[in-house]
Structure 1
Amino acid sequence: MRVLVAGAGLGGLCLAQGLLKAGVDVRVLEREDGPDSRAQGFRIALNGHGLAALHACLPERLHALLAAVSGPLAGERRVVDQGLRELRRLGGVDAGTATDRHVLRGLLLAGLDGHVAYGSAVTGYTERADGTVEARLGDGGSAVGDLLVGADGVGSAVRRQLLPGARVVSVPGNAVLGRSPLTERSAALVPGYGMVVQGARASMLLGRMEFRRPPRLAAAELAPGVRLPDPGNYLRWVVMPAEPLPDGPRPWETVRAELLARLDGWHPDLLDLVRNADAVNSTPLTVRYAEPVPHWAGSRRVTLLGDAIHAMPPSGGQGANTALRDAALLARTITAVRQGTAELPAAVGQYEQTMLEYGFAAVAESLERLPDVTPAR
């Protein structure tokens, strides 16, 4: 049995690890030219589902490394005004584990040499008469397998063909994601879980990414041969202006100047976060979400996971966790088929029904946490 996975994001790689662990032949088709072709994002919070999925799919030798290159996600949550005067406290939380998306992706790539084909964008597929599926690639090539999994993100080509009526909605307005080095001064802004700044013309969310151990050194000791980036500790922040910034691609210097104009009069420590932001890892963000779809009839040789089916706003902190949960569930499903205890069409259908239920529940919860958003009808 061979499984084709379109996309080498967190969900696709977690699935590949789970399948490889079970002895299933898997090939990941990734449109990027290499693992470091672009910035991979920011801190993510791993909840119980996300951590359980990683532990289920990763080989046991990598579990200690995962713990070492994560960080705490606990403590007090403060709400302050733009001058850093405290407005209220939201109480302490213990929300799980913080990890960096780029570091986690490096960990998920460990041991997948020869199973990931870079520069191989999946543009569509054909279900063949012999019961296999052929993935068409952007370079004119193709790959054949028994199952194609669309893990190719919010712009999924696999979803567009499988579910042409599925809609992804953009939330009005925009936000800016930023990453600034964690210094003694900036660390004092967020002594606990996080901080919310409520200003007259914008709001700001801040959170720390503080690794228990430097990822590269931890990998060298705990899993020699695993190559991890070493981004250093940082403060992740998101600014949501009341008046949207201009649309369209612009240099970070232009975006930063526009953002600072919105934050005129804010505390100097907050303004310095924006001024000192890492230009490579700071960017405007359009918030999008997928509208619910019913369980589809037809193909059981093509399925979806993660943002390719249930994209959601980052406000709930559930996007990556839900994709990892999908991956672990689908890996168990395919493993049962390989072991002869389930038939592929029925097993994939059951996976889809379960995934759609919890996936779109997570979308709804994330939308509820996003202020002034009414889902389109």
Structure 2
Amino acid sequence: MRVSVVGAGLGGLCLAQGLRQAGIEADVFERDQAITARFQGYRLVLNPAGFDALRGCLPPRWHPLLDAIVGDAYGERLILDPRLNRIGELGPGRTGIVVDRHVLRHLLLTGLTVRTGAALTGYDVLDDGTVRARFGHGAPATADLLVGADGVSSAVRAVLSPRTVPTDTGVRFVIGRTPLTERFAGLSRAFGSKIAGDGVSLLLGAMRFRTPPKEAAGRLAPEVTLPDVRDYVRWAMILPPGGSREADNPREAALSMMDGWHQDLRALLEQGDPDNSALLSIRVVRPGERWSPGPVTLLGDAIHATSPTGGNGANTALRDADLLCRCLTDVAEGRRNLLRAVGDYERQMFEYGAEAVSHSLGALPAFVPQSKPQPA
């Protein structure tokens, strides 16, 4: 059996690693011109289910390395004013494991061949039941199953389920990262909390590696090459609905909204990496009508993109990867046929994926600031 995975994000790569462990051939296709074409180095929180799904798709020999390069999630989940005074609470704290997306992606890429510059233009289901994927550049690829793991703007979904489209919540946020120096360690009370300003909210999260990734790989898995990343603070400034849609310099745009804020908060953004800050929109994808089971399916944000305020986007994509891998392993070992296995995966994925999107949208209002009143 051969599987074509379109999209080299965390979900697609995790699936490819799991299939590789099961002896199933998997080819990965990525529309970006290079793996590092876009910065993808922000902190994620994995819940126990997401972390177990990730471990389940990785070779057991890499488990000690994975355990070494993550951190522990913690935080009081307070609501603070711009001077860092406590003014409320967000609710019970979340526990889990924090990972750096850039580091984790390099781990998941190890041993895989990814064809970059491969933007999907369409696919054809052939008479023998296989599927041929077509790309803007390069030869087509034929497989027993095509998996669209190509994100919110999925080209696979556009063909498979054209009426399932992203919804823009209208919320924008500026995201960036700053090295975690001794000065910023003093902001620990704000990690996991919301800082409520005038028309904006600022969210901070610390990425503290148990062991520096490059050092851990050299000691525990020399065949793995990980980037030399050190501890940092991930920050995200959420704008009100209708906030700025464009910014030539997102970090400077965020700083312009911080007059009168605590000097350490301003310094945190001032010392952020200007090349790796971005203005992003919050869009969601709700699983809609089920399509007829066939040799094409979807995974992750391509079918259930969530608001980041729910903290469940990466977790749900990894859960997809693990579930689909187990279903396909049954096919490879003769316990189920392909269409039944894909149908079972989709039935479960649609249910928990829809719940994840609803949960994330339910959590969004607590983080979205009110628009500033306009002068008369």
TM-score (norm 2): 0.93
Q: Aligned runs of 1:14-163 on 2, under 5 Å?
A: 14-89=14-89, 93=93, 95-112=95-112, 115-163=113-161
Q: Where does residue 203 of structure 2 map in the other structure?
A: 205
Q: Where does residue 259 of structure 1 map in the other structure?
A: 254
Q: Deviations over 1:151-175 (max 9, x none)?
A: 0111110000000111211111311
Deviation at 1:117, TM superposition (A): 1.6
Q: Where does residue 366 of structure 1 map in the other structure?
A: 360
Structure 1: 5+ residue stretches without partners: none
Task: Tell me whether 1:181 sits opposite 2:179 in the alignment.
Answer: yes
Q: Deviations over 1:198-221 (max 9, x none)?
A: 112211111100111110010000
Match of 1:296 among 273, 291, 299: 291
Deviation at 1:192, TM superposition (A): 7.6
Q: Deviations over 1:326-365 (max 9, x none)?
A: 0000000111001010011111011101000001100000
Supply the distance in 2 between the matched residues of 1:163 and 1:92 (Cα, whole angstroms).
Answer: 38
Q: Where does residue 3 of structure 1 map in the other structure?
A: 3
Supply the distance in 2 between the matched residues of 1:84 and 1:244 (Cα, whole angstroms).
Answer: 26
Match of 1:345 among 317, 339, 343: 339
- CA change 1:190–1:373 in 2 (3 A) is closer
- CA change 1:123–1:171 in 2 (3 A) is same
Q: Aligned runs of 1:217-296 on 2, under 5 Å?
A: 217-242=215-240, 244-248=242-246, 250-252=247-249, 255-296=250-291
Deviation at 1:67, TM superposition (A): 0.8
Q: Is the 8 A contact 1:241 1:262 kept in 2?
A: no
Q: Where does residue 316 of structure 1 map in the other structure?
A: 310
Q: Deviations over 1:69-94 (max 9, x none)?
A: 10010242332101111224557745
Match of 2:350 among 326, 350, 356: 356
Q: Is the 8 A contact 2:75 2:193 kept in 1?
A: no
Which amino acid in structure 2 is aligned with residue 343 of structure 1? Answer: N
Supply the distance in 2 between the matched residues of 1:260 and 1:219 (Cα, whole angstroms).
Answer: 37
Deviation at 1:190, TM superposition (A): 1.8
Supply the distance in 2 between the matched residues of 1:322 and 1:348 (Cα, whole angstroms).
Answer: 17
Q: Deviations over 1:281-300 (max 9, x none)?
A: 21111000013312222x51
Q: Deviations over 1:247-271 (max 9, x none)?
A: 23x432xx33332222212111111
Supply the distance in 2 between the matched residues of 1:2 and 1:232 (Cα, whole angstroms).
Answer: 38
Supply the distance in 2 between the matched residues of 1:52 and 1:190 (Cα, whole angstroms).
Answer: 28
Which amino acid in structure 2 is aligned with residue 85 of structure 1? Answer: N
Q: Is the 8 A contact 1:2 1:26 kept in 2?
A: yes
Pairs aligned (count): 368
RMSD: 1.9
Which amino acid in structure 2 is aligned with residue 3 of structure 1? Answer: V
Supply the distance in 2 between the matched residues of 1:359 and 1:291 (Cα, whole angstroms).
Answer: 8
Range with bigger deviation, 73-82 or 122-131: 73-82
Range with bigger deviation, 153-162 or 23-32: 23-32
Range with bigger deviation, 145-154 or 227-236: 227-236
Supply the distance in 1 between the matched residues of 2:337 and 2:259 (Cα, whole angstroms).
Answer: 61
- CA change 1:243–1:24 in 2 (3 A) is closer
Structure 2: 5+ residue stretches without partners: 369-376
Q: Is the 8 A contact 1:151 1:304 kept in 2?
A: yes
Supply the distance in 2 between the matched residues of 1:52 and 1:192 (Cα, whole angstroms).
Answer: 28
Query: What is the DSSP-based 3-state SS (H/G/I as helix, E as strand, rest coil) of the residue aligned with 2:73?
Result: strand
**What's the % identity of the aligned pairs?**
49
- CA change 1:261–1:192 in 2 (3 A) is closer
Supply the distance in 1 between the matched residues of 2:286 and 2:60 (Cα, whole angstroms).
Answer: 37
TM-score (norm 1): 0.93
Which amino acid in structure 2 is aligned with residue 251 of structure 1? Answer: D
Supply the distance in 2 between the matched residues of 1:266 and 1:33 (Cα, whole angstroms).
Answer: 40
- CA change 1:190–1:145 in 2 (3 A) is same
Supply the distance in 2 between the matched residues of 1:373 and 1:211 (Cα, whole angstroms).
Answer: 27
Which amino acid in structure 1 is aligned with residue 25 of structure 2? Answer: D
Q: Is the 8 A contact 1:134 1:142 kept in 2?
A: yes
Supply the distance in 2 between the matched residues of 1:49 and 1:365 (Cα, whole angstroms).
Answer: 16
